[in-house]
Structure 1
Amino acid sequence: MTKWDKRDDMLVHTDEPFNAEPPTPALAERLTTPLDAFYSRNHGPIPRVDPAAWRLEVDGLVERPARLSLEELRSRFPAHEVIATLQCAGNRRAELIEVRDIPGEDPWRSGAVSTASWTGARLSDVLSEAGLRPEAAHVAFGAPDMVREADPPQPYGGSIPVAKATADEVLLAWAMNGHPLPAVHGAPLRAIVPGWIGARSVKWLDRVTAQAEPSGGYFQAVAYRMLPPDADPSRCGPGSGIPLGPVALTCDILRPEHGSRVPPGPTEITGYAFAGDGRGVARVDVSPDAGRTWTQAKLDAPASPWAWQHWRTTLVLPEGEAEIVARAWDGAGATHPESPAALWNPRGYANTSWGRLRLTCRR
């Protein structure tokens, strides 16, 4: 095992803050991702929080502000379990960097997406006990991890609209895949906002604030916003661009690994498709020849409205170089863009172009 009990073959983009992703075949093995393979995205050093001294502050536009220990959370609120996929907004940024450079951003490949079974209290139950006031329109999350990329440095945070915060699927989670939440994934408590970009599932959560406006913090007002292709991020102030929330329809190939060598003939291709915020995936098509011809893949039934769906098909590949592509369709008959060139943006977010796999077929 490497740092933070991760697999030895994790691709580590930075040690501090720790940012790492697994090889894609590790994501194809099961519906839920093992803890040692789950991607890790951080903006500052991972804090060491004493669970005994930790408290969650619930404040802002509530009638009864609260200060809760982990034991009080677990004893006063029913535990719920949600299977949910988390995806970094920068997943597959490396493909956008191939179109045009994106300085200062980690070149995530295809592994910044993982799925777990999360256990915790519903945020809606906590807000209800606190007496959420009618004028509250957003719920902000606060955490102690200090982020140097903000100027001046500030603790990490973000917010979601009240309509999402009070939905049954949003949790204050203390367990992951049946195990206590690891430090690298936010122990003792983290928010889980299924169907939304991973940045909104704030780790090491220590404050929940009901308020009239979205969070004014750096990671809500400046970062994680979709800028136009011609924008200069260094000149864009708070509120520029489109704030990222629900994950757009996406599809990718997990196995075989990109660039690998396989024998000619029948080859099983596996991957996942995901439509955030509870939208379903209706179909996945796979092409053995860069999109000239297509075959329909077998698509697994969803484990929950908030989880990816694995798919698989067998293609007969001739000797030589092969470019395999995959695309998904949602229940409204919509699909996603063919090329990352159509999606390039100056921070490298939301690459939802067709999944692509290049193989060498040789005996």
Structure 2
Amino acid sequence: MHRLRHCRGLACVFSPSAQSALKLKNNIPLASCSGLVSYCWGSRSSHQGQSSYYYSSWRPRLRYVLMSLVAGTGAVVAYGLHQVKSERAAAAVPQTVSLPVYTQEEVMKHCSLDKGIWVTYNGDVYDITDFVAIHPGGNRILLAAGGALEPFWSLYAVHRQEHVQEILSGYKVGVLQAEDCKKQEAANLVDPYSTDPPRHPALIVNSLKPFNAEPPPGLLTDSYITPSALFFTRNHLPVPQVDPNKYRLKIEGLPSGTMSLTLNTLKSNFPKYTVIATIQCAGNRRSDMSKVKPVKGLNWGFAAIGNATWSGARLRDVLYHCGFGPEVAAKARHVQFEGLDCDVTGMPYGVSIPLNKALSEEGDVLLAYEMNGEELPADHGYPVRVIVPGVAGARNVKWLGKVVISEVESECHWQQNDYKGFSPGTNWDTVDYKSAPAIQELPVQSAITQPVDGSLVDRRMEEVNVKGYAWSGGGREVVRVDVSVDGGKTWHVAKLRDNGEDEFPAPSPQPGRAWAWKLWEIAIPLPEGAEVLEVVCKAVDSSYNTQPDSVPPIWNLRGVLCNAWHRVKVKVN
């Protein structure tokens, strides 16, 4: 996070529309330090030594500036404004001025934009009314209105970074009385992540709370079936503790009313099907997009993908058993899924998929209770998760608690305001989530797992061995992988494998049901005299979709759907 100390720096992160609005409405020269500072804080001379001025009189002016921004750049600007505010306050307000003491009851009265949004943290009271508009997480910050931040920040550990603490400090208006502090401390002793399962030490951790991690790229393609312990983990919330004997899967939206199925019912009353399917996070390779321009989201490498054997009851069998029929099909269009993982308000993780995918005999959607021949690990959905082959990992809901047949998509945040793709020209000032469909099938993808970026190749070997994976969404089979060692000037066709044996060429799966990845490899002669190799791969699927050659044309503010040619550079020793 850059320390923006000058208004010229602040102006550069305002959108053109925001700059225009400010200039037209207030005739402010954004490139001028005095213009913005005077606008936000007014004349300083008549308020020397009055601490209340810094918490009230500047807010009406600053509110207009802040409301011109949204998440993303908003966080940067918020940090910059906080720096200016802190420096001016430190210079103008005597350090001996004490802040007022508030009771929890008084804080609770400030729980709306009309009354102001107050929160507490570590015994201090903050008025964050003006920060709501630029909170990178959207209006979810309002869930803490009038209460403590700790329960929410314990769910999203990103808030514990130093620059976030600095932003918050600029909104401090008082302290919480000692008695209420003790009550809060007692309530905050429970860590919602304290019961999370142990993880393999080889995993590369993107975030601890919630836990998100991927395996080292060098291990990713060691085997066709990804070991469960090394399968990438994407958690949005704490891992729920589920008693298998008390587990109930609710089915809603059918004429028979709400049905409740036990784990034993799923195992004993329905045929067991097994599907080998690859799951890929929609944010896989987000780190490649962040090199072009900052994006919002976990900084995934190219190993947020894995291939496993999944076993369970087919969703279509369960739905027909529970009463699905023509009268429902005439109206319903979607199947919603809700997990048992919930935030502190009780809101579960939820998404949906099209009904025709859920009901298709060729869709192979499973209510899975086994992974790689064993019960699901806790991190991967125990006791039941939905497996939706060929679509984004976000739709493969873990710890499945409810299935709803519906005329509409899930209304949850992760369906409506996340996991959507936008034009490279769309920014946080102009984004309209309603204008884009939720990501379902993913585009064709491939990546190089050997050699790794920055490694050395011995010229005496006379050739370089290149390995990797390739996969396409929607059941489209990968039919070719092209590899280059000179940045894409010349190409070689790799050998494909899509089973556990060293069988080349790979046998073809049933058309439209190529759910699993293909591993590929090739030995390419070293170009004479080359000192550096730019190794590149691109895959082609059965619909002749191929990968774009670079990231900038597909860049988007959320960093999803990154499938440009994968590139690594190696030196020839």
Residue 8 of structure 1: aligned partner: 201
Is 1:310 matched with 2:527?
A: no
Deviations 1:40-78 (A, max 9, x none): 011111111111111000011343531011001111111
Residue 110 of structure 1: aligned partner: 302
User: Could you list the runs of 5+ residues in structure 1 that have no partner in the other structure?
Assistant: none
2:495 and 2:522 in contact (8 A); partners too? yes
Deviations 1:26-46 (A, max 9, x none): 121111100111000111111
Which of 469, 478, 493 aligns to 1:272? It is 469
What secondary structure, in the 3-state scheme, does the structure 1 residue paired with 2:360 have? Answer: coil
Is 1:195 matched with 2:390?
A: yes
Q: Which has the higher contact order (CA 8 A, sep 6+)?
A: 1
- RMSD of aligned alpha carbons: 1.8
1:142 and 1:208 in contact (8 A); partners too? yes
What secondary structure, in the 3-state scheme, does the structure 2 residue paired with 1:239 have? Answer: helix
1:61 and 1:136 in contact (8 A); partners too? no
Return closer, same or farther for 1:119/1:233 CA change in 2, 3 Å cut-off.
Answer: farther
Count the aligned residue pairs.
356
TM-score under structure 2 normalisation? 0.60
Q: Which AA in structure 2 matches 1:280?
A: E
Return closer, same or farther for 1:206/1:235 CA change in 2, 3 Å cut-off.
Answer: farther
What secondary structure, in the 3-state scheme, does the structure 2 residue paired with 1:323 have? Answer: strand
1:321 and 1:361 in contact (8 A); partners too? yes
Residue 334 of structure 2: aligned partner: 138
Q: Which AA in structure 1 matches 2:311?
A: T
1:339 and 1:353 in contact (8 A); partners too? yes
2:424 and 2:552 in contact (8 A); partners too? no
Q: CA deviation at 1:266?
A: 1.8
Return closer, same or farther for 1:312/1:154 CA change in 2, 3 Å cut-off.
Answer: same
Return closer, same or farther for 1:90/1:331 CA change in 2, 3 Å cut-off.
Answer: same
- Taking only the aligned residue pairs, the percentage that are identical comes to 40
Deviations 1:199-249 (A, max 9, x none): 000000010000011111111111111122233447645523231000111
Which of 259, 264, 285 aligns to 1:71? It is 264
What secondary structure, in the 3-state scheme, does the structure 2 residue paired with 1:36 have? Answer: helix
Distance 1:181 1:357 in 2: 35
Return closer, same or farther for 1:5/1:234 CA change in 2, 3 Å cut-off.
Answer: farther
Residue 347 of structure 1: aligned partner: 558
Deviations 1:334-354 (A, max 9, x none): 312000111100000000111
Deviations 1:157-208 (A, max 9, x none): 1000110011231000000000110000010000000000000000000100
Which of 437, 454, 457 aligns to 1:242? It is 437
Larger Rg computed on CA atoms: 2
Residue 332 of structure 1: aligned partner: 543
Q: CA deviation at 1:255?
A: 1.6
Is 1:57 matched with 2:253?
A: no
What secondary structure, in the 3-state scheme, does the structure 1 residue paired with 2:447 have? Answer: strand
What secondary structure, in the 3-state scheme, does the structure 1 residue paired with 2:418 have? Answer: coil
Q: How does 1:41-56 map to 2 (within 5 A)?
A: 41-56=234-249
Residue 97 of structure 1: aligned partner: 290
Return closer, same or farther for 1:331/1:307 CA change in 2, 3 Å cut-off.
Answer: same
Q: Which AA in structure 2 matches 1:215?
A: S
Residue 288 of structure 1: aligned partner: 485
Return closer, same or farther for 1:324/1:147 CA change in 2, 3 Å cut-off.
Answer: farther
Which of 316, 328, 331 aligns to 1:124? It is 316
Q: How does 1:131-210 map to 2 (within 5 A)?
A: 131-132=323-324, 133-134=328-329, 135-147=331-343, 154-168=347-361, 169-210=364-405
Q: Which AA in structure 2 matches 1:286?
A: V
TM-score under structure 1 normalisation? 0.93
Return closer, same or farther for 1:234/1:63 CA change in 2, 3 Å cut-off.
Answer: farther
Q: Which moved more, 1:22-31 or 1:86-95?
A: 22-31
Which of 254, 257, 268 aligns to 2:449? It is 254
Q: Which AA in structure 2 matches 1:30?
A: S
Q: CA deviation at 1:24?
A: 1.2
What secondary structure, in the 3-state scheme, does the structure 1 residue paired with 2:442 have? Answer: coil
Distance 1:275 1:223 in 2: 21
Distance 1:238 1:342 in 2: 20
Q: CA deviation at 1:262?
A: 2.9
Distance 2:394 2:199 in 1: 21
Q: Which moved more, 1:192-201 or 1:243-252?
A: 243-252
What secondary structure, in the 3-state scheme, does the structure 2 residue paired with 1:243 have? Answer: coil
Which of 210, 215, 234 aligns to 1:22? It is 215
2:385 and 2:397 in contact (8 A); partners too? yes
Distance 2:543 2:414 in 1: 32
What secondary structure, in the 3-state scheme, does the structure 1 residue paired with 2:559 have? Answer: coil
Q: As a proportion of its length, which structure holds more strand?
A: 1
Aligned structure 1 segments of 4 or more residues deviating by more than 4 angstroms: 233-238
Distance 1:183 1:175 in 2: 11
User: Could you list the runs of 5+ residues in structure 2 that have no partner in the other structure?
Assistant: 1-195, 498-505
Distance 1:233 1:243 in 2: 18
Q: How does 1:221-240 map to 2 (within 5 A)?
A: 221-233=416-428, 236=431, 239-240=434-435
1:6 and 1:35 in contact (8 A); partners too? no
Distance 2:342 2:549 in 1: 38
Q: As a proportion of its length, which structure holds more helix?
A: 2
